[in-house]
Amino acid sequence: MLLVIAGLVHSGMAILVARRHAEEALRRAEADFAHAARISMLGELTASIAHELKQPLAAISINGQAGLRWLDRPEPNIAEVRETTAHVLAEARRAADIIDHIRAMAIRRAPEQLPVSLDELIEESLTFLRPELEARGVIVFHEFTPEAPNVLADRVQLQQVIVNLAVNAMQAMEQADSPQRRMTISTSMPNAATVRCAIEDSGPGLMSDHMGHLFERFFTTRENGMGMGLAICRSIIEAHDGWIAADTGSAHGGARFYFTLPAVDTCASLSR
């Protein structure tokens, strides 16, 4: 009898260990897919990256030339040289920040969750996407919620979600050849403990028979799509104790994707 019980216990332990290994393998696979998606996204946005770096570098050159002109005067204007030098340093810091952001998006690293502002992340993402938006003729609106609390999140992962959803909206509007391409990214507070981000577009909207499959792995409506972008977004949001959904409630008549995250104060109270 004892041998039977011992055998059952051993079998149960083996099943638990196997399940744990399977869960760890799944998490590693999801992390690999998320990293691959970031690299792919950076490749697609090469023109935007080049444009973002070109601006501060051009400003550095212009201010450097201006500083030399002030120095070459019969009586050098030290005050003007000091001011242009300050501009050079500011633009150099801006270029370094852009490079750091791209590097953070590209490298594999352990997620680091810290209190962040959703509206701040949206602004950073839009700055990154600005040239792409202009090239595609998309007018974008960012509707702030000043009183919204921070959320506890990994900055790079959350930006990946925002950029991915924005790029999806741009592609949908372009694919449908929408005459007026408009997108609104907004934040709101459904309740005191939750912050929501919504991305609305003026594209063709969502087909009813697609609604239940949008966030499934390998489901795509694009001819050359991999069907991983939205699945990765869901994985990231759920890892942050949030949830993501989509509907046809866009104020612009197209699709609306939105995700919610617990406010940082709520996270803190839950951890105590």
- Structure token pair of residue 201: 């577009």
pLDDT at site 190? 93
Question: Could you read off the pLDDT of 225-270 as tens digits, one per residue?
Answer: 556 678 878 888 998 999 999 998 899 989 999 999 999 864 444 4
- 43 occurs within a structural domain: no
Same domain? For 84 and 165 the reply is: no
Q: How many domains does the chain have?
A: 2
Same domain? For 70 and 199 the reply is: no
CA distance 164 to 16: 36
- 7 occurs within a structural domain: no
Angle between helices 155-175 and 2-44 (to 10 degrees): 60
Q: Could you give the maximum distance between any two Cα atoms of the chain, in Å?
A: 104
Residue 158, domain CATH? 3.30.565.10
> Which residue, 105, 130, 145, sits at the end of a domain?
105
Same domain? For 92 and 160 the reply is: no
Same domain? For 96 and 216 the reply is: no
Question: Could you read off the pLDDT of 141-193 as tens digits, one per residue?
Answer: 999 998 999 999 988 888 888 988 998 899 889 887 878 899 999 999 999 99
Question: Could you read off the pLDDT of 29-83 as tens digits, one per residue?
Answer: 555 555 666 666 666 566 556 656 776 787 788 888 888 988 888 888 888 888 8
Domain that holds residue 53: 49-105
pLDDT at site 227? 60
- 267 occurs within a structural domain: yes
What angle is formed at CA 88 by the lines to CA 82 and CA 106, rounded to 5 degrees? 155
pTM of the complete model: 0.63
Ranges of H-type helices in the chain: 2-44, 46-72, 78-106, 118-135, 155-175, 229-239, 264-271
Same domain? For 253 and 238 the reply is: yes
Residues 89-116, mean pLDDT to the nearest whole number: 74
